[in-house]
Each structure stands twice: as C-alpha cells, then as structure tokens.
Amino acid sequence: MKKDHVKVWDSCLSIIKDNISLQSFKTWFEPILPVKLKGDVLTIQVPSQFFYEWLEEHYITLLRKTIKRELGTEGRLEYSIVMENNYRNTKPYTVKIPTKNKPLRNDPINVPLNVNRSAIKNPFIIPGLKKVNVDANLNPSYTFDNFMEGDCNRLARSAGYAVASKPGGTSFNPLLIYGGVGLGKTHLAHAIGIEIKDQFPDKIVLYVSSERFTHQFIDSVKNNETNDFIHFYQMIDVLIIDDIQFFAGKEKTQDVFFHIFNHLHQTGKQIILTSDKAPVDMQGVEQRLLSRFKWGLSADLQAPSLETRIAILKNKMYQDGIELPDDVIEYLAYSITTNVRELEGALISLIAQSSLNKKAVNLDLAKQMIDKFVKNTAREVSIDYIQKVVSDYFNMPVELMKSKTRKREIVQARQIAMYFSKKLTKSSLASIGMQCGGKDHATVLHACKTVNNLLDTDKTFRKYITELDKKLNVS
C-alpha cells in the first residue's frame, strides 16, 4: 500500500510531540508543511534558511530517528526552503538518514539572498539611503606600528598579524583576544582590521561593539527586519566584535550571533573577538557559542613588563613630539604597572599639568601628579620602583642587587629594598622575596629585622635609610 506524505508527516509529528516541549513544537514543527513522498524520500517545506539551520542544529537526531521509524533504514528527508517572496529553492537540500549511527555532516546551503527584492538594509546607515555602503568603523590611530610588542602580548600580536596577512585562511579563526581592562585588546583588534584593509582593499571589514550589535538586533526585531540584519552580517568578510562578554544573558542576541558565526565560519570569512575573560570564565554565554570560540585561537594580553611600559611611554612621546627626562619616564613606568590606558593617561596629565601651571616637567612634578592620578588602591610605589631607587642610590645595577652574590654591600642594598617593600607596599612577604631575587619569606623577615637593628646602632646606615625614605616618599 502506497503511503501518503501527509499521513507519514502526521505520524512523525505525533512522535516528535512526545519528545519536546509544547512551545517548541508549536514554534518549530507546526509551520512545516509536508510536500511529497517519493519512494523513501519525504520532502517538507520550511519557512526560511534560518528555520532550516535551527532544525539542523537542535532537532536533527530526533528527525533522523523519526524518519527511520516511519520510512525504514533507507528513509531520507528533503527540505524545500521558501524565501520571503514565496520563492522556492528549486534544488532542495537532501539530508540522508544513515543506516548506522554515524555523525551527520551537512554542507552549507547556498540560498539566494536577493530574489526579486530590494537591497538588504544596512543597520549602520541612515534610513532612506539606497546604497549599502559598509564603513569599517576602524580607528586609524590604532595600528600595528604603535602597538608595542613585549612578552605580555607577543602571541596575540603575532597571531593578529598572521590573520591580517591571510584573513580566513589560518587556523586562527575565530581569533579571540582577551585580557584585563586597558591592556590593548581594542587597539589590536583595530590594528588587524586596518592591516587587512590595506592589504585587501576589496574585502568588507567591519568593527562593531557587542552593545551596538545588540541594539541593532533589537531594532531589527521591532521593525520586522531580522532577515535583513542577518543577511547584512553574512555579507561581511572580516567581522570584529569587541567585548563579546556583554552578550552574557542575552539569549536571543546569542542565538542570532550563533547563526551569523556559523555562516561566516563555514564560508571562510574571518571572525575576530575581544573579551575581558577567557572562554572558560565567561558566565551566561551558551555552551554552543563557547565551544565555537575555542575552534580557533584564544590569545591573552597580560600586564606589560617594565621595559614594555617604558617603550609604550617613549612611543607615545615620539608620536606627540615631546621629550621628558628619563627619570620621569621611569617613575611613571614604575608607578603604574597594570594598565596601559592609565599609563598613557598619566603621561597626558603630566604634560597638561606642566603646560597649564607653567612648570618644568621633573620628578617632583611627576610625584605630585601621580599622587592625584593614581587612586587609593594604587597610591603605593611598586617593588620594581623601590629596587630601582635603591640600586641607583648605591650605584649598582638592579640585576646585581637581585643576584645571588653574598658581597656585603650588595646584600645590604637587597635588604634595604626588602625593608622598604614591606613598609611601602601591600605585597606579601613571599611576593617581596620572589621579586627580590627569588628569596623566601623568612629571608625578607630577616632582612627587615637586620635593617631595624642597624637603624638603632649605625649612624651611617641611618643616613642611608633617611635619604632613601625621602626619595621614595610620594605622599
């Protein structure tokens, strides 16, 4: 007896209905229409490509089992995708239900984006403009040339340059750059985009913040233009999204980005993301998105070393055409240790203070400015700076003071550095010892005890401590 396609699909629906929630059934299966049954091939009509992709992502296992049950092990399912103007894809995509439990691998559908319809609406342009013109939204001052390389960022910078040289053609897709505030994530993301535009002028590059992406999506939903929104982003060759962690908790935004991500990745387009957290630490982001973030490379940006901080300051001075004394540059680099943005801001504030008050830029002015600029948690001087001041005072290299030598004058300088580190910072004894030549906390305690004893008994030593105290006092 010949089976009827409507009855077969009704039987499939009765099974599916028992395995999913009522709301999901109404949303994703009631709109489907059975079209025909030819042999073991059942053709169903779905409203859109988005609809098809959702079924493939969430319900393919259920569909496979159901079709096998109704049509046998050779049963196959065929989709007919309807476009917005009721255009039907003349070559439906066929999903074969395997006879064994093998993973199903599907190639992307090539569905026309424009079929007798107006141009896709660009969410970045003013309503009424007919031409779709994608502005990359890149900051021209954020380039590789002024992104100073150091151990803290070498991996991320190298990966970014590789991506810029061959967008979509490396294993770094997506490239996720993560790190704390003010370490250069946005700068590096813009630099990659600018380099790609220079090398590949015909590629469509777009930088967008996660907040703006979310607002555009909300507007598209309000205006019933979601398909335009999705299709616009699917046209991009290099998509750069900043602060991806702000997608947390926004389920619909994550869902639409998931499908845009899949399309871009499958078609060899480059995706660049930034975040203040590694994927493993992101809360409120769907697991399917997090797993895709891990497909490429996650490169972290760490706090810059002293040498990198000095290089950043000198590069900023060169760009602005200014000169400062070396001791002022070193003081700024020693005082602000964790945030490049604050470091450059401190330099700008120092120049402004000098210009407005008509004072020469010197170490005293730098100390006054830092005291105001760096807030309560960072008022203390750093261990690095203490070591530099002590080593300069005794006219010896920092490296020698931190070495394992047991010469009396060097041991004494090291003990004084430990003493002031305990007095002027909030660092633990273990941390102080580690930064003062890899010593343990007991050595630091012994050093502090020795310094206190000598203060009471040695007049010359007391003079050392008094003079160093004045040099290190920033209050």
Domains of the chain by residue range: 5-96, 154-301, 306-376, 383-472
The terminus-to-terminus CA distance of the chain in angstroms comes to 95
* DSSP-derived secondary structure for 437-474: TS--HHHHHHHHHHHHHHHHH-HHHHHHHHHHHHHH--
Residue-wise pLDDT for 210-267, tens only, equals: 999 999 999 889 888 888 899 889 889 999 999 998 888 888 999 999 999 999 998 9
Spatial CB neighbours of 434, under 8 Å, sequence gap ≥ 6:
none
pLDDT at 275 over 60: yes
Fold of the domain spanning 5-96: GMP Synthetase; Chain A, domain 3 (3.30.300)
pLDDT at 458: 84
154-301 fold: Rossmann fold (3.40.50)
The predicted-structure confidence for 325-360, as pLDDT tens digits, reads as follows: 887 888 888 777 777 777 777 888 787 777 777 777
CATH class of 306-376: mainly alpha
Which residues does 366 contact at the CB level (< 8 Å), separation at least 6?
328, 331, 332, 350
pLDDT above 70: percentage of residues in the chain = 85
SS3 assignment, position 239: strand
Same fold: 5-96 with 383-472: no
Checking 28-35 for CB contacts under 8 A at 24+ apart, the result is 28/54, 28/55, 28/58, 28/59, 34/5, 34/6, 34/8, 34/9, 35/5, 35/80
Q: Which fold has domain 383-472?
A: Chromosomal Replication Initiator Protein Dnaa; Chain: A; (1.10.1750)
Sequence-distant (≥ 6) Cβ neighbours of residue 117 within 8 angstroms? 84, 85
What pLDDT does 288 receive? 87
Q: Which helix (H) or strand (E) holds 93?
A: strand 93-96
pLDDT at 361: 76
pLDDT tens column, 46-68 = 877 767 877 887 788 888 888 88
User: Is the four-CA dihedral 382, 383, 388, 390 of positive or negative sign?
Assistant: positive
The pLDDT value given to residue 112:
38
Q: Is 167 helix (H, G, I), strand (E, B) or coil?
A: coil
